[in-house]
Amino acid sequence: MHTSLSEEIAHTTARLAVEEGLEWGAAKRRALREMGLPARTPLPDNDQVEEAVREYIQIFCADTQPRELRALRQLALVWMERMAPFRPHLGGAVWHGTATRLSDVYLQLFCDDPKSAEIALIDHHVDYDPRTVPGFHGEPVEALSIGSKSPELNEIIGVHLLVYDLDDLRGALKPDTKGRTPRGDLTAVRRLLEEKTDP
């Protein structure tokens, strides 16, 4: 019974993540509300949600998702090239291959001086919205959020630049529970676009 409930939550979470572009944490909490479950109900882990998301995409979005993912990776690459001095790394659904047109792009920047990325945006006359988001380990991290047009999708996509200290870079590249690289640098993203495959 326990696994099937966890699976049901994962599938509802996947639907919300794909159809509404919700982050997984928010989608899990919404799934509980939609299913009328108590807030304390144990949630499926991210690996289980990722599996459900991949399944959902295969069933409902197989004809559109690869093109949308490619467009988001191209947009990510544009911003990574612009922010190259800050060692940008792409993470999240766009890196892992589970993104759709509703997904935002998450880039982690690793700076000697946390203000330098902000100054670069100001110098390029880019409008951004500063806010604080949870980082790798749940610690608060400054994010510079931008709306950027994807020419392929003809839509404005949220691009979030998460500003980390240069010292955080080593920990950022530790493999995840499945032994995969959790994020990729410019070279890795260029390679993805050449190969057209998931990491």
Is the same domain home to 102 and 176? Answer: yes
Is the same domain home to 118 and 80? Answer: yes
**Total Cβ atoms within 10 A of residue 112:** 11
- Percent pLDDT > 90 in the chain is 78
Is the same domain home to 186 and 93? Answer: yes
Name the domain count of the chain.
2
The one-letter amino acid code at 89 reads H
Mean pLDDT of the chain: 92
The confidence score (pLDDT) of residue 48 equals 94
- pLDDT reading at 23 higher than 60: yes
pLDDT band at 3 (very low <50, low <70, confident <90, very high): low
Is the same domain home to 70 and 159? Answer: yes
- Bridge partners of 149, per DSSP, are 156
- Regarding predicted confidence, which is higher, 10 or 170? 10
Task: Tell me if 9 sits within 8 A of 43, measured CB to CB.
Answer: yes
Is the same domain home to 42 and 102? Answer: no
Is the same domain home to 150 and 129? Answer: yes
- pLDDT reading at 36 higher than 80: yes
Which residue, 31, 60, 89, sits at the end of a domain? 60
Which contacts of 22-31 are long-range, i.e. CB under 8 A and separated by 24 or more positions?
Answer: 24/49
Is the same domain home to 115 and 70? Answer: yes
| Residue 178 belongs to domain with CATH number | 3.30.460.10
Is the same domain home to 92 and 186? Answer: yes
Which residue, 25, 60, 95, sits at the end of a domain? 60
Calculate the CA dihedral of residues 148, 61, 24, 13 and round it to 10 degrees. Answer: 150
Which residue, 12, 43, 60, sits at the end of a domain? 60
Q: What is the pLDDT of residues 136-189, one digit of tens each?
A: 777 899 999 999 999 999 999 999 999 999 888 888 888 887 888 889 999 999
Is the same domain home to 54 and 77? Answer: no
- Regarding predicted confidence, which is higher, 23 or 83? 83
- Among 81-95, 102-116, 127-141, the minimum mean pLDDT is found in 127-141
Is the same domain home to 32 and 72? Answer: no
The confidence score (pLDDT) of residue 1 equals 39
Q: What is the pLDDT of residues 44-83, one digit of tens each?
A: 999 999 999 999 999 999 999 999 999 999 999 999 999 9
Q: E-assigned strands of the chain?
A: 89-91, 105-111, 129-134, 140-150, 155-165
Is the same domain home to 104 and 165? Answer: yes
Scanning 40-139, the segments in alpha helix (DSSP H) are: 46-60, 65-82, 92-96, 114-123
What does pTM read for this prediction? 0.89
Is the same domain home to 35 and 78? Answer: no
CA distance 89 to 169: 9
Calculate the CA dihedral of residues 185, 21, 162, 188 and round it to 10 degrees. Answer: 0
Structural domain including 97 reads: 65-195
pLDDT band at 135 (very low <50, low <70, confident <90, very high): confident
The confidence score (pLDDT) of residue 2 equals 54
